[in-house]
Structure 1
Amino acid sequence: MTAYSLGSGSEGRRGPGAASRKVIMGKTTMRRTIIASLLTASAIALTTPAFAQDAPAEPQASEVPAADIIVTGSRIPGRTIADSPVPIDVIGGDALTNAGSSETNKVLRDLVPSFNFPQPSLTDGTDSVRPATLRGLAPDQALVLVNGKRRHTAALINLNGSVGRGSSSVDLNEIPPIAIDRVEVLRDGASSQYGSDAIAGVINIQLSKRTGVSGSVTFGKYDTTMSGVNEELGVQTTGGVPTVLTPGANAQADVLALNYGDEVRRHDGDTLTTALRVGLPVGDGGYLVLSGQFRDRDPTNRSGADPRRQYFTVGDPRELTFNRFSHGYGDGKTVDYNLFLNAGMNVGPNFELYAFGSYGIRDGTGAGFYRRSNDARNRDFAASTTTFVPYYADGFLPKIYSQIEDVAGAVGIKGDVGGFNADLSVVYGSNQLDYQTIDSFNVSLGGINSPRRFDAGGLAFGQTTANLDLSKKFDVGGLSSFGIAFGAEYRNENFKIRPGHPTSYIGGPYIANGAAPGAQVFPGFKPENAVDRSRDSYAAYAEVDADISKAFTLQAAGRYEHFSDFGSTVNGKVAARFEPIKGIAVRGSVSTGFRAPSLAQQYFSTTSTNNVGGTLIDIVTVPATSAIGTALGGKQLKAEKALNLAGGIALNPISGLSITADYYNIRIKDRVLLTENLQGTAVVNLLTAAGITGVTSARFFVNGADTRTQGVDIVASYRLPDFGAGKFSLTAGYNYNETKIIKRASLPSLPGLVLFGRQESFRITDGQPRTKLNLAVDWDLGPVGATFRTNRYGTVWVVNTGTLAQGLGTVAGDLKLTPKWVSDVELRFHPIDQVTLTLGADNVFDVYPDRLPIGGATGAAGFTPNSYFIPYSQFSPFGFNGRYLYGRVAFNF
């Protein structure tokens, strides 16, 4: 047979090979080396004068008590948690590091009741960049700041059925806990103060300024028994031939009868984390802090045994010896390197020059869906076009290898200008995600020409933000305090899609034989998907903050912002606090908010091609303003608009006890959502009328729904008086959250089509816990200490297809994930003051979400045989890895 040549980079079974991959990886390695060298050189340069100066007293921010000044919630400095008119949680650095996980998202999930972080699997790039949410809203509806400056989002847009489908988010796991002094979580709408995305609230990460040297080495692994998943002891046979338990629609779909043993034990996910922070004094009152973390995490696998027939020939003896735990379902393999710099020094008597930045690398490998030996996606047409010959004799597990590079840098100067506190800064951040599809196969090329590893292209997002902030307090007769703040912001954003190597997406000569084109599990981006788009925005804001009396506080803010792609928006906020009796205060706020549609939502496109009856059919994700989108009724996206109403009470009845309870009601208009695959005769007719052929299914982003999210946050803390048994701190947090869709959009051109089906609708309304409860006890007595936390995750619904009118619980295949308690325990010992030895267990009682019913015609209507080997839903709010044991050695000098 004549070889099918694709030019440079196609090297048969070993390609695209080695040549193009070496170029890609060589450029990536060189770029990483250059950036790391620059950061190292900068650190050395800044360190040199540090040793030449007298060391000042240790600064400041880390040393303050809990009632200290906060920097989130008002642009005018001086507010504390106690007198803030809006709810703010403050989480200290010690709480972040006294945990088994080194993932900032996981730690915040366990400490903040309205913060959720599910850990989905089999979701392509989302396996490596998992999104988190605040108050049950989308990941991109919460704003993340670092040192009060806007953090850039990840390049990835989540498309594959996880919580947060259709959104991009800030990757908080790029920020290691050791670099953090504290986290301030503003649980209130703040678009009028901070701009786009601050609908659900603001997460402000304050980097450490501490001098000295501290670090840790942590090792942990999962030691777990999988609930409801049993060992496979062999295939049952009848006359020496595997017994068919459930005949499928065709022979390849047969479900075989297996013999089962005890529940499966797993010892995996070995994770080594090393972290180091070095803080040096610089001049009089300056600081230079370098923080770094390295994490090497092995994969976990929580799949069950696959009982389906694996081989093409009925009765193939290999069925009896095949390892049926063939799927990969759990955490992927990841290696992370993260470096942070935080520095400041006084310049003259009135100014401070500051800089902070980060550089991170994450190499992650996530599994796809296992292709059986008898799968059409494993057929080698180059070997035979008449007889089924598998390319991989025993099937294959394709994987997605993600290379993520994250860079950020900020420089600014602040100080007194004419009696005003002035702050001028420029911040740049970028996130690049390059995909490779590995251990895979392009069926349409045939076994001779298809590589097993493909460059599938990549995504990149960049953001530059410049801010000028001014604030001042005035003495105004009759007022206890009066301050104003105003400023301006410029922001530029850029989004890119890089196409992959042709072997990753092309349809080869065996398309005519019914072969699927492109690399299995993740076809590469095509040249027509390539995009390089930018936009600008300009904003001006003003804020007034006044203590009308010692008992009454009033805050008002307004913001005007203009975006080059969708226009202008004006937003405002009024908040107040009244304390008629010392220790009892009521507070409330009314604000409007907005979120600009992201560049990814406006310009992302990808194509998957299926062969249907010998005809090549493109199923596409397109921009709403593309030719396909416009033909189907798509149009320029509008900004989401929000109305936030909140009210609550803050109690400090006795020393050491604080209780707050806050109600919130968030109405969002024109939420940006990704439609279902729009298909059918009406779709084809519209596309054909527009001169577009070969496409029968498409999806794009629309302003698809209006929603209402309401709930209650209750947070309490109590530091017990010392009664001789050590220091006890008790904390509790409770969140009730309910989201409803109150209006749905439709396309006038397609009046009979449902834009968002039952599954997508309930992902928004019921895909996250309705309730969540956090309880914790911290205890210290001399050289020993302990922490016990338990979290109760409320009901989550996993729903099947069906009509929207059927609601919950009426369709076969619906599953209610019942509430679960997940508990963590940690024991600490200080042999000397500067060293801590720790043993701990996350999910110490080895709790799993409810198992999915096993499927087919065996009694679980609505569930496919996939439930045998994918036993737990990815919507589990605490994941499905089980008990994690760890030990840590930490030092602090």
Structure 2
Amino acid sequence: MRVKTLAQAIAAIGLMGSGFAHAADDNQLERVTITGSNIKRSIKQEKALPVTILKTEDLAKQGLTTVEQVVNSIAANQSTQGASYAVGASTGGGSFASLRGLGNQYTLVLLDGRRMANQAIDGTSADLNAIPLSVIDRVEVLLDGASAIYGTDAIGGVMNFITKKSVKGLNIGGSFANPQHGGGDEKRLNASYGFGDLGLDGFNVYGAIDYLKRDAVMASQRDFSNKITADTGSSPNAWPGNYVDGVTKTWKSSNTACRPPYSQLVDGICKEYYSLYPALSPEVEQVSGIVRGTKRLGDNHELSLQYTRTETITTSQNAPLPTGGEITRANAVDPTKRDLLYVRTVPLGNRETEANSVTQRLQVNLEGLVAGWDYRAGIGRSENLVKETLTSGYVSKSRMQAAVDGGALDPFDLSGNNLAAWRAVGITGQTKEAKSTIDMADAKISRELFQLPAGMVGVALGAEVRRESLSTVYNKAITRDALSTGQSKTEDSMGSRSAYAVFGEADIPVLKNLDLQLATRYDHYSDTESSLNPKVAFKFQPDPKVMFRGSASKGFRAPSLYDIYRPNQLQLTGTKFVDAAACPSGSPLPGTDGTGCSKMQRDKRVGGNKNLSPEKSSSLSLGMVIEPTKDFTASADLWWTMIKDQINILDETLILNNPAKYADRYVRDANGNYQYIIDDISNLGNISASGVDLRMSWTLPKTSLGTFMATLDGTYLAKYAYQNEKGGDYTNSVGRYVDAGPNFRWQHNLTLSWMRGAWSAILSQNYKSGYTDQNASDNSKGSNHMVKPYSTWNVSGTYAFNKQFTVTAGIKNLFDQEPPYSNQQRLTQQNYDPRFTDPIGRSFFLKGAYKM
């Protein structure tokens, strides 16, 4: 049935007529390198490549102001971690790309064709926040396995961010966005200055700086997030507080006068609705800059030096701290017994954490032409440094325990007279510093080597050397003592490795209308297996208006340093559950503390694994492109990817739902009380995914009303099936929330644009299909429903007063679409899924640019 659906989709796009890119006039013969190949060729020869090219100038007119927003507008991208993920999790504020939903570790992010240091806390890929958007000229997206071209981790595809090669004069710009419902105000200022003309003077030097400030959006500021439903998560860590009686092992409330809506009486105790407190999206402040100098050496050589630096400060707010039974007091009846206190520190306000992430890269590049060979060589260093700091709302376990024991603090006192005592047990300070570095050198040459009857054979040869390192250092004076950070048992971790690669590529015109691309790459790592990855691709054009293309490739992904050296860390499970082993038949096991009978979040340990095997992959694609007229193009590319021995964390729900099967992952104390589950990174089973990418571009004939253009970029996901264990059953997550979340069946970006003289306008739509919710069959919660499709429209108009001054005004989320309701309880934010939606709502923006 799905094969038939895909066939119908290809046929439909064929009837519409994309893929031939009119990037330049046919007479323009500038030689360039386009993402997907190392061989320089004329622009008109590149139009067959399955590469999507996005101009940042056009994206800015849609109100997109960050690289995260740009990437999320790409139909083939299904990111699961953005800025909002920093609320309630230690992420360093990182945002990542995930082409075709395979995972950020399989999408290679490049800056000017070269790698950046991986984000130090995630450790498997580059942080999108590290890219200076204001000087990005375009984004080239290759939706194809590219391990043979760029490296073993390019299994899902490549995103290549291309900076401006030169800038002349002074350019000043800025923008302001104001959401209708409060919170989320955004201000942006940027400036650049350059001098020298590469063509006339033989040099160009420019610098640019960009400043962005975006305010937080709090749960209380949005109607969809400040409601309490049957699915909204609650916690016994409450205000007024609760305790587990040390004698009877039963739950008791210190005061049943709960304070709705934040805490309400449930089963005789106050329970706190923690999702009413936090930020839906954090406060973000970012400063990025670039300095670049380029010098022509003679007629055929060019030397460039580039330095980029981006600093992003992400301030996230979470609900007031839960003590989680880690603070105790003497039982009033039997002082030899201890009550476990479950209090939420409301007097201290929300927990606030600041992540400061600085990414730098210095790159020297020499390129040119020698004896008919195009060459490019470079050497560079890139690093990412992340510091996380507790700024308010946290308490010292030792000081609070001493204050409770000494009577200086009564955590059940609601009078407000003990605020000074609460502040006295507070704790602030830096918790950790993580650093990721990459030193690299590379060189490659290419040329058209010899003539065949059908045309010239192009070849490319190259080599690359890298040295990578990763370290995480904890401030144990803070992490060992601060409550509710998940870092009380963490240890410092560090590791490094070296790698080198050699690669070759050939473009062979077999017939006048048939070209073959052959490529292979050998990668060697100092700490794991080596790998040889081939790729073969073809382009067949039986008619000037019709083209067929396809590829087959092998891939290999070595465990990242983060996979190997991720520090062991205790964190809360995303799922609330009863510990059945400590609470059989609803009664606590003799000797246990009684907390096993309460449905609540508990600790789990995650960490790296030095015994990981590499992942291996196979990819196939087959596509068709038609161009019935110069103004109308369309394409459909059917693809399939298989990844074996995937490296990941086993979804916690499987461990929790199968305690007998995963008994070796449960850690308990001598009395049988739950301590934590072990969920370290490991080799799981396979991933098998397939789908079709659809593209269409149509420029209507020019009329007195102006020129109209329509583009559609869509991805249909037919299958995303994976094994949680080697040899286990496959689970298909397309259109279903299972384990960690859903994969969307269909996503598209539709853009309608208009130009007439000095005026232009853009209307764009981003669409995600609906899916079955996390607890769709739990009728006891009234949850039997689908998460509805999510569609937002952006509109803007631009007026160019002259060549120097332009103004754009617009509205993001024109129809004020709220995120669709979801009963997911995996994340801190609830009533919707913050990974796939934007809580801002309708927002008005104004953008201006002036060139001197």
Residues 93 and 758 of structure 1: is their aligned pair in 2 closer, same or farther, counting only changes over 3 Å? closer
**CA–CA distance in 2 between the matches of 1:725 and 1:746?**
61
Instruction: Quote the residue 1:277 is aligned against.
Output: 192
Question: Aligned match of 2:34 in 67, 71, 86?
Answer: 71
**CA–CA distance in 2 between the matches of 1:423 and 1:708?**
37
Letter in 1 for 2:505: E
Instruction: Quote the residue 1:92 is aligned against.
Output: 55
**CA–CA distance in 2 between the matches of 1:495 and 1:564?**
15
Residues 357 and 196 of structure 1: is their aligned pair in 2 closer, same or farther, counting only changes over 3 Å? farther
The 3-state SS of whatever aligns with 1:90 is strand
Is 1:296 aligned with 2:213? Answer: yes
| Larger deviation, residues 374-383 vs 212-221 | 374-383
TM-score (norm 2): 0.78
Q: Deviations over 1:3-30 (max 9, x none)?
A: xxxxxxxxxxxxxxxxxxxxxxxxxxxx
Question: Aligned match of 2:125 in 169, 186, 194?
Answer: 169
Instruction: Quote the residue 2:354 is aligned against.
Output: 401
- Unpaired runs of 5+ residues, structure 1, are 1-61, 158-166, 224-265, 507-517, 626-635, 854-862
**CA–CA distance in 2 between the matches of 1:597 and 1:785?**
48
Letter in 2 for 1:455: Q
Is 1:216 aligned with 2:138? Answer: no
Is 1:141 aligned with 2:56? Answer: no
Residues 539 and 366 of structure 1: is their aligned pair in 2 closer, same or farther, counting only changes over 3 Å? same
Question: Aligned match of 1:130 in 92, 95, 104?
Answer: 95
Could you tell me whether the CA contact under 8 Å between 2:440 and 2:467 is conserved in 1?
A: yes
Instruction: Quote the residue 1:362 is aligned against.
Output: 312
Instruction: Quote the residue 2:725 is aligned against.
Output: 745
Instruction: Quote the residue 1:425 is aligned against.
Output: 378
Residues 797 and 495 of structure 1: is their aligned pair in 2 closer, same or farther, counting only changes over 3 Å? farther
Could you tell me whether the CA contact under 8 Å between 2:744 and 2:770 is conserved in 1?
A: yes
Superposition pairs of residues 391-540 of structure 1, within 5 angstroms: 392=345, 394=347, 396-438=349-391, 439-446=393-400, 450-506=425-481, 518-520=482-484, 522-524=485-487, 526=489, 529-540=491-502
Could you tell me whether the CA contact under 8 Å between 1:557 and 1:572 is conserved in 2?
A: yes
How far is the alpha carbon of 1:281 from its aligned partner? 1.7
**CA–CA distance in 2 between the matches of 1:81 and 1:835?**
32
**CA–CA distance in 2 between the matches of 1:759 and 1:821?**
18
Residues 414 and 70 of structure 1: is their aligned pair in 2 closer, same or farther, counting only changes over 3 Å? closer
The 3-state SS of whatever aligns with 1:105 is helix
**CA–CA distance in 1 between the matches of 2:696 and 2:286?**
35
Residues 379 and 81 of structure 1: is their aligned pair in 2 closer, same or farther, counting only changes over 3 Å? farther
Residues 785 and 535 of structure 1: is their aligned pair in 2 closer, same or farther, counting only changes over 3 Å? same
**CA–CA distance in 1 between the matches of 2:35 and 2:478?**
50
Instruction: Quote the residue 1:729 is aligned against.
Output: 709
How far is the alpha carbon of 1:429 from its aligned partner? 1.0
How far is the alpha carbon of 1:462 from its aligned partner? 0.8
Instruction: Quote the residue 1:870 is aligned against.
Output: 830
Could you tell me whether the CA contact under 8 Å between 1:467 and 1:488 is conserved in 2?
A: yes
**CA–CA distance in 1 between the matches of 2:434 and 2:142?**
31
Letter in 2 for 1:597: P
How far is the alpha carbon of 1:606 from its aligned partner? 2.6
Could you tell me whether the CA contact under 8 Å between 1:738 and 1:765 is conserved in 2?
A: no
**CA–CA distance in 1 between the matches of 2:827 and 2:644?**
37
Question: Aligned match of 1:311 in 237, 240, 259?
Answer: 240
Residues 485 and 123 of structure 1: is their aligned pair in 2 closer, same or farther, counting only changes over 3 Å? farther
Instruction: Quote the residue 1:153 is aligned against.
Output: 118
**CA–CA distance in 1 between the matches of 2:291 and 2:827?**
46
How far is the alpha carbon of 1:177 from its aligned partner? 2.7
| Larger deviation, residues 736-745 vs 331-340 | 736-745
How far is the alpha carbon of 1:279 from its aligned partner? 2.9
Letter in 2 for 1:602: I
Residues 461 and 686 of structure 1: is their aligned pair in 2 closer, same or farther, counting only changes over 3 Å? closer
**CA–CA distance in 1 between the matches of 2:108 and 2:783?**
36
TM-score (norm 1): 0.74
Question: Aligned match of 2:803 in 833, 853, 859?
Answer: 833
Could you tell me whether the CA contact under 8 Å between 2:321 and 2:344 is conserved in 1?
A: no
Letter in 2 for 1:327: Y
Could you tell me whether the CA contact under 8 Å between 1:380 and 1:390 is conserved in 2?
A: no
The 3-state SS of whatever aligns with 1:652 is strand
The 3-state SS of whatever aligns with 1:567 is coil
Q: Deviations over 1:53-90 (max 9, x none)?
A: xxxxxxxxx99569985521111111547645541111
Q: Deviations over 1:445-485 (max 9, x none)?
A: 31757433132112211111210111121232413121111
Is 1:882 aligned with 2:841? Answer: yes
How far is the alpha carbon of 1:890 from its aligned partner? 1.5
Residues 388 and 838 of structure 1: is their aligned pair in 2 closer, same or farther, counting only changes over 3 Å? same
Q: Deviations over 1:836-872 (max 9, x none)?
A: 122111111111222246xxxxxxxxx88x9998321
How far is the alpha carbon of 1:338 from its aligned partner? 0.6
Instruction: Quote the residue 1:772 is aligned against.
Output: 747
How far is the alpha carbon of 1:607 from its aligned partner? 3.2
Could you tell me whether the CA contact under 8 Å between 1:381 and 1:443 is conserved in 2?
A: no
**CA–CA distance in 1 between the matches of 2:382 and 2:762?**
36
**CA–CA distance in 1 between the matches of 2:163 and 2:829?**
43
Is 1:595 aligned with 2:557? Answer: yes
The 3-state SS of whatever aligns with 2:90 is helix
Could you tell me whether the CA contact under 8 Å between 2:216 and 2:280 is conserved in 1?
A: yes
Question: Aligned match of 1:350 in 288, 297, 300?
Answer: 300
The 3-state SS of whatever aligns with 2:279 is coil
Aligned-pair identity (%): 22
Is 1:719 aligned with 2:722? Answer: no
Superposition pairs of residues 165-244 of structure 1, within 5 angstroms: 168-212=124-168, 213-223=170-180
How far is the alpha carbon of 1:879 from its aligned partner? 2.6
Residues 346 and 436 of structure 1: is their aligned pair in 2 closer, same or farther, counting only changes over 3 Å? same
Question: Aligned match of 1:330 in 272, 280, 286?
Answer: 280
Could you tell me whether the CA contact under 8 Å between 1:872 and 1:880 is conserved in 2?
A: no
**CA–CA distance in 1 between the matches of 2:701 and 2:735?**
50
Is 1:106 aligned with 2:63? Answer: no
Residues 183 and 412 of structure 1: is their aligned pair in 2 closer, same or farther, counting only changes over 3 Å? same
Could you tell me whether the CA contact under 8 Å between 2:108 and 2:153 is conserved in 1?
A: yes
Residues 214 and 301 of structure 1: is their aligned pair in 2 closer, same or farther, counting only changes over 3 Å? same
How far is the alpha carbon of 1:709 from its aligned partner? 1.0
Could you tell me whether the CA contact under 8 Å between 1:124 and 1:366 is conserved in 2?
A: no
**CA–CA distance in 1 between the matches of 2:740 and 2:305?**
41
Residues 538 and 763 of structure 1: is their aligned pair in 2 closer, same or farther, counting only changes over 3 Å? farther
The 3-state SS of whatever aligns with 1:601 is helix
**CA–CA distance in 2 between the matches of 1:668 and 1:389?**
44
How far is the alpha carbon of 1:282 from its aligned partner? 5.6
Could you tell me whether the CA contact under 8 Å between 1:86 and 1:187 is conserved in 2?
A: no
**CA–CA distance in 1 between the matches of 2:643 and 2:359?**
31
Residues 772 and 74 of structure 1: is their aligned pair in 2 closer, same or farther, counting only changes over 3 Å? same
**CA–CA distance in 1 between the matches of 2:701 and 2:813?**
30
| Larger deviation, residues 212-221 vs 536-545 | 212-221
Could you tell me whether the CA contact under 8 Å between 1:437 and 1:453 is conserved in 2?
A: yes
Question: Aligned match of 1:665 in 636, 640, 646?
Answer: 640
Letter in 1 for 2:286: D
**CA–CA distance in 2 between the matches of 1:687 and 1:817?**
33
Instruction: Quote the residue 1:557 is aligned against.
Output: 519
Residues 187 and 573 of structure 1: is their aligned pair in 2 closer, same or farther, counting only changes over 3 Å? same
Could you tell me whether the CA contact under 8 Å between 1:780 and 1:786 is conserved in 2?
A: yes
The 3-state SS of whatever aligns with 2:73 is helix
